[in-house]
Structure 1
Amino acid sequence: MTTTALDAITERADEIRAQGVVNERLGKLSDTAAKTLRDAGVIRMLQPATYGGAEAHPVEWAETVMATAALDGSTGWVAGIVGIHPWEMAMADPKVQEEVWGADHDVWIASPYAPMGILRPVEGGYVFNGRWQFSSGTDHCDWIFLGAFLGDENGDMAKPPQNIHVILPRSDYEIVDDTWDVVGLRGTGSKDIVVKDAFIPSYRIIHNAKLVDGTQPKDAGLTNPLYHVPFSCAFPLGITSAVIGIAEGALAHHLAYQRTRVQITGTKVKDDPYVLYAIGEAAGEIAASRAALLDNANRMYDLAAAGHEFSFEERALGRRNQTQAAWRAVRAVDEIVARSGGNAMRMDNPLQRFWRDAHMGLTHAIHVPGSINHVAALSQLGIEPPPGPMRSMI
């Protein structure tokens, strides 16, 4: 029987769990935690087979991210964030794929995609400058995707705006230490990145619009349905899977803590019907969140396998379901934490770390529900949303 990445994570569960406190203290994944992800093959799950990847079903990947995050939120978060980048790299120019993975199939790629830089066209490519926040797992990565706007010859943003993903080696950017001091997901090491006058060959860019509308994987000649799942489903999947996995970890620690707990009233939790009702309801909400997210990914994959052309409405509704899954799971965590008593908030109780990690994960831009719900509702009413910010995350 083939050993999967999920099997490997399960086998090393105690080791991953033990690194949670270490990761938080370091402000990044420990070398041990990072090596566990490498050895398990988690980051290669969506990588093309030509470079040692598994080309796994997105649901299998999401379940692996969830299982990892349930053991330690930061390790699971890095698995979800860094783990999606090989999926996009599979669509990049073969020349840059060879540069990244030709000598080592285990090279990791960081991000972020927020367009905080400007590409100025020059002969043979571009000159690139900018500063970005929130580069998760970046200390363990040797390449990076960075979001940018295309500029003109003066370095001013071109009109209309064009969002570009830029691919850089570690030698072309600076990781700014001491830029990740936060309340949750401290072990992700999501530090700032600075680029100063880096030359970008023209083959090291991907147009965001071609990712969003699905033409990039077609142009790359990819046939596996994995790579034809919409970007608006694939990219958020890793992030939301981590949040739901964190919620599952919080629930597991809550149950272990409550099993023998006696409340200040002298009532054992196991004999308190009100607390038991709340625990049952929260557990059901977390399970429903998991099911909704995985169902969405499964459906998108099956449609991609059938050669379906995804509409804007389908992408918007998928984003709505994904975002709602994260919020539902974190609300459920709040319900069980509120019934855990003050001792659950002591720093030696893992529950408080999972609670903090869950809320930090919910603040990611991919989980902001306002415009997503707005656009999804307009789409269901048969109204085409206008171009601009409301469509940017879909």
Structure 2
Amino acid sequence: MADTVLEAIEQAADELAELGPDNEKLGRLTDDAAAALRRTGVIRLLQPAKHGGHEAHPREFAEAVLATARHDGSSGWVAGIVGVHPWEMAMADPRVQEEVWRSGPDTWIASPYAPMGTARPVGGGYVFDGRWQFSSGTDHCDWIFLGGRITDAEGTPLQPMRAAHFILPRSDYEIVPDSWDVVGLKGTGSKDVVVREAFVPEYRVIDFGSLVDGTAPREAGLTNPAYHVPFTCAFPLGITAAVLGIAEGALAHHMAYQRQRVQITGTKVVDDPYVLTAISEAAAEISASRVALLDNASRMYDAVAAGREVTFDERAVGRRTQVQAAWRAVRAVDEIVARSGGNALRGDNPIQRFWRDAHMGLAHAIHVPGSVFHASALTQLGIDPPPGPMRSMI
């Protein structure tokens, strides 16, 4: 089934590419671009089979996101972000799954997961408030996952913090117009969302700790190993795959542009050994980033498929691999853009859009290297897993 999705993405390639500038101008995916993504089935790759999904291998999901982002960065980014949400929804209460997919398998779910909201317990659930940034693809979504902190009855956040993901229908939150004015990934429409005193029933809440420690899929009775891959591998996978796909798209446009280009010195690029060497080095770096990301996802999958728990050390190394893959690929994009000449940065040349999209994707919090690299080094030195922020998202 994953091969069928890849075929559908390639069949939609020209349409996705042509709609890229329109997405950027509109500040979100056009309705045609969203419809094209729905036709490919990429968002349903990690969705439960009982709700029309494919329950695919995480590697196959990443490959489909890579393929989509090669044609248009914003479409690939939405595929990577929105596409991981059905994976988590598989761990939710069956009642909310039925609510979400009652109208059909192509219902999309937005996020973000950052715990920017507060949830005060009341009878049967929580009263939820907050404002969140970066809700990618949100205009085309009918439900949303929102991160929040649980408080006591008076509204004071619990200590230590207890975080959860709250699931809300479109009627319970507001999308803030004109809240996405950025340099790259403009077409993702990653706008702010606001929730005001919404009641969220208990069955629409997933404890964040249970996602990270792996108890959520076990308690949900899920048997497919795809759902037992650590959250800290699955959640970043679509994001980083989108960045690497954007890098591949930048390289493809660069190669097409350079074939006939004559530099101001009169030298054809195909006769310039310095530029050709830089192109080859960049291509090798982007390819190596792809291999590293996909291999990491496969290793995690193989471990849980064998019935083994993925250790903190392995998760830290996996996050290090994922973060470094993104940085490595975007540095390579910088190298080829620097050798593309001034005309590559004109508004009608797609190279500059892929370059901007790549850097915007690298700025996502999941790609911040400091604490991830620190924690990974400590664990490999045999030091007990570090406390506090360095454990976050590992």
The TM-score normalised by the length of structure 1 is 0.99
Secondary structure of 1:4's aligned partner:
helix
Counterpart check, 1:80 vs 2:80: yes
Q: Indicate conservation of the 8 Å contact 2:293/2:325, yes or no.
A: yes
Distance 1:267 1:118 in 2: 62
Cα shift at 1:3 = 6.0
SS in 2 for 1:43: helix
Equivalent in the alignment of 2:12: 12
Task: Name the counterpart of 1:282.
Answer: 282
Residues 110 and 135, structure 2, Cα contact 8 Å, conserved in 1: yes
Report the counterpart of residue 270 of structure 1 in structure 2. 270
Deviation digits for residues 86-135 of structure 1 (CA, Å, limit 9, x no counterpart): 00000000010001012211110000000000000001110000000000
**Aligned residue-pair number:** 394
**Equivalent residue number for residue 253 of structure 1:** 253
1:387, distance to aligned residue in structure 2 (A): 2.5
Match of 1:384 in 2: 384
Please say if 1:99 is aligned against 2:99: yes
SS in 2 for 1:127: strand
- What SS does the aligned partner of 1:126 have? strand
CA-to-aligned-CA distance 1:66-105 (integer Å, 9 cap, x gap)? 0100000000000000000000000000010001012211
Whole-angstrom distance in 1 between the partners of 2:73 and 2:174 = 26
Q: Which runs of 4+ in 1 moved over 6 A?
A: none
Aligned-residue offset at 1:297: 0.4
User: How much does 1:207 deviate?
Assistant: 0.7
Please give the per-residue CA displacement for 1:282-341, whole angstroms capped at 9, x wherever unaligned.
000000000000000011111111011111111110000000000000000000000000
Which structure 2 residues correspond to residues 315-330 of structure 1 after superposition, within 5 A? 315-330=315-330
Q: Which residue of 1 aligns with 2:89?
A: 89
Q: Does 1:60 align with 2:60?
A: yes
State the AA in 2 paired with 1:7.
E
What is the alpha-carbon distance in structure 1 between the residues aligned to residue 75 and residue 211 of structure 2? 27
Q: Which runs of 5 or more structure 1 residues have no equivalent in the other structure?
A: none
Distance in 2 (alpha carbons) for counterparts of 1:386 and 1:350:
43
Distance of 2:107 and 2:155 partners within structure 1 = 32
Residue in structure 2 matched with residue 242 of structure 1 by the alignment: 242
Secondary structure, aligned partner of 2:83? helix
SS in 1 for 2:223: coil
1:207 & 1:352 partners in 2: Cα distance? 41
Give 1:191's aligned residue: 191
2:340 is matched by which residue type in structure 1? S
Which segment drifts farther, 179-188 or 308-317? 308-317
The answer to whether the 8 A contact 2:2-2:60 is kept is: no
Alignment of 1:279-318 (within 5 A): 279-318=279-318
Residue aligned with 1:148, SS? strand
The one-letter code of the counterpart of 1:86 is P
Shift of 1:385: 3.2
Q: What are the Cα deviations for residues 26-46 of structure 1, in whole angstroms up to 9, with x where unaligned?
A: 000000110011111111110
* Residue of structure 1 in register with 2:207 after alignment: 207
Distance in 2 of aligned mates of 1:120 and 1:157 = 9
Q: Aligned equivalents of 2:65 and 2:382: distance in 1?
A: 35
Partner of 1:368: 368
- Does structure 1 conserve the Cα–Cα contact (< 8 Å) formed by 2:378 and 2:386? no
Give the AA of the match of 2:33.
A
| Match in the other structure for 1:111 | 111
Q: For residues 16-58 of structure 1, give each alpha carbon's deviation from its aligned partner in whole angstroms, at most 9, with x where no partner exists.
A: 1000000000000000110011111111110000000000111
Measured in 2, the distance between the counterparts of 1:26 and 1:287 equals 32
Q: 1:92 to 1:155 in 2, by over 3 A?
A: same
Cα distance in 1, alignment partners of residues 298 and 280 from structure 2: 27
Aligned-residue offset at 1:383: 1.0
**What secondary structure, in the 3-state scheme, does the structure 1 residue paired with 2:129 have?**
strand
Cα displacement (A) at 1:386: 3.2
Cα distance in 2 for residues equivalent to 1:241 and 1:156: 38
Structure 2 CA distance for partners of 1:124 and 1:2, relative to 1, 3 Å? closer
Q: 1:132-151: per-residue Cα shift (whole Å, max 9, x none)?
A: 00000000000000000111
**RMSD between superposed Cα atoms in Å:** 0.9
Letter in 1 for 2:313: E
Q: CA deviation at 1:5?
A: 1.0
Supply the distance in 1 between the matched residues of 2:240 and 2:89 (Cα, whole angstroms). 21
**C-alpha distance in structure 2 between counterparts of 1:91 and 1:348, whole Å:** 44
Paired residue for 1:224? 224
Tell me how far apart the structure 2 counterparts of residues 373 and 386 of structure 1 sit (CA, whole Å): 12
Identical amino acids, percent of aligned pairs: 73
- Return the offset for 1:375: 0.2
**Separation of aligned partners in 2, 1:333 and 1:251:** 7
Q: What residue ranges of structure 2 are gaps of 5+ in the alignment?
A: none
- Do residues 331 (structure 1) and 331 (structure 2) align? yes
CA distance in structure 1 between the partners assigned to 2:3 and 2:361 by the alignment: 30
Structure 1's 323 and 2: CA in aligned 2 closer, same or farther, altered over 3 A? closer
Question: Aligned letter for 1:121?
Answer: P
Who is 1:164 aligned against? 164
Give the aligned partner of residue 155 of structure 1: 155
Determine if contact 2:59/2:294 at 8 Å carries over to the other structure. yes
* Structure 2 counterpart of 1:155, one-letter code: G
Aligned to 1:49: 49
Structure-2 separation of matches of 1:344 and 1:25? 19
